């Protein structure tokens, strides 16, 4: 019985993530979530008393996905490549994870106050830029705080655009565009210009891989 209840709760949460990601807080309904979960309103409200409680749980799950993503980032020797890995991982997460898309959508239109999602990943970005500055990898005249502002806006915009893009073809096209965008970013940030891969492509890729410090 407990296993069945846990399974139902998990199914409802997954359905709610899709519902909130697609329709936002105001547009989402318990009826819509129940339909997606192929369950009854009674079973849904047994686990979540109302839409607000359901939204809070989905948003908490989305925040946790961000935290796990940051914890799993591989270390890089070059802090600028580490920055690319970070932003690429955030963008990929927004594309692939409905809980993250839902959390971002709920942050924009849910009625309750909650800590901004940027509080999870922005300190990591700031630390990496401070490392780049200390290693003299930033172009002279580029202040770390200015770079933080620019890259945080880039990450937010990329997560919004890539999170809304569905389908493999759009995903592939976005990855190709991302390489060009990052080249422009590095041209403005790096003391020695963008790093190139062995065949002239930006390195590393959007997946967030980078050489380990071993």
Q: For the segment 92-107, what is each residue's pLDDT rounded down to a tens digit?
A: 899 889 999 999 999 9
Helix (H), strand (E), coil (C) string for 61-96: HHHHHHHHHHHCCCCCCCHHHHHHHHHHHHHHHHHH
Task: Give residue-wise pLDDT tens across range 171-190.
Answer: 666 666 777 788 888 888 88
pLDDT attached to residue 209: 43
- For residue 108, the model assigns a pLDDT of 85
Looking at residue 52, what is its pLDDT? 93
Place of tokens 């990052």: 182
Least confident of 22-26, 82-86, 176-180, 188-192: 176-180
The yes-or-no verdict on residue 147 having pLDDT over 50 is yes
Residues 27-65: b if buried by 16+ CB within 10 A, e if exposed: ebebebbbebbebeeeebbebbeebeebbebbbebbbeb
**Structural contact between residues 82 and 128, judged by C-beta atoms closer than 8 angstroms:** yes
Before 204, cis peptide (omega within 30)? Answer: yes
Higher pLDDT among residues 44 and 163, named by residue: 44
pLDDT band at 197 (very low <50, low <70, confident <90, very high): very low
Q: What is the pTM of this model?
A: 0.81
**Lowest mean pLDDT across 149-153, 157-161, 162-166:** 162-166
Whole-number mean pLDDT of the chain?
Answer: 84
Q: Is the pLDDT of residue 213 over 80?
A: no
Percent of the chain with pLDDT strictly greater than 90: 54
Q: Is 171 exposed, middle or buried (0-12, 13-18, 19+ CB in 10 A)?
A: middle
130 pLDDT more than 60: yes
Query: Any idea where the domains of the chain sit in the sequence?
Result: 59-189
- Cβ–Cβ under 8 Å, residues 56 and 45: no
pLDDT in tens, 34-75: 999 999 999 999 999 999 999 999 999 999 999 999 999 988
pLDDT at 93: 92
- The highest-level CATH class for domain 59-189 is mainly alpha
Cα(130)–Cα(4) distance, rounded to whole angstroms? 49
């Amino acid at each position: 019985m407990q296993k069945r209840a846990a399974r139902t709760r998990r199914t409802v949460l997954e359905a709610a993530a899709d519902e909130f990601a697609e329709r936002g807080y105001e547009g989402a309904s318990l009826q819509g979530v129940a339909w997606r979960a192929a369950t009854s309103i009674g079973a849904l409200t047994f686990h979540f008393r109302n839409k607000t409680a359901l939204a809070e749980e989905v948003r908490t799950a989305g925040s946790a996905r961000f935290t796990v993503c940051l914890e799993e980032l591989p270390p890089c020797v070059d802090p600028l490549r580490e920055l690319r890995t970070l932003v690429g991982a955030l963008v990929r997460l927004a594309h692939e994870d409905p809980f993250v898309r839902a959390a971002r959508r709920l942050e924009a239109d849910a009625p309750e106050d909650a800590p901004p999602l940027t509080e999870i990943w922005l300190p990591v970005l700031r630390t990496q830029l401070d490392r780049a500055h200390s290693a003299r990898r930033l172009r002279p005249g580029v202040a770390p705080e200015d770079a933080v502002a620019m890259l945080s806006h880039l990450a937010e915009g990329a997560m919004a655009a890539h999170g809304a893009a569905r389908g493999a073809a759009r995903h592939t096209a976005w990855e190709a565009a991302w390489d060009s965008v990052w080249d422009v970013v590095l041209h403005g940030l790096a003391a020695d210009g963008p790093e190139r891969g062995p065949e002239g492509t930006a390195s590393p890729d959007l997946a967030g891989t980078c050489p380990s410090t071993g």
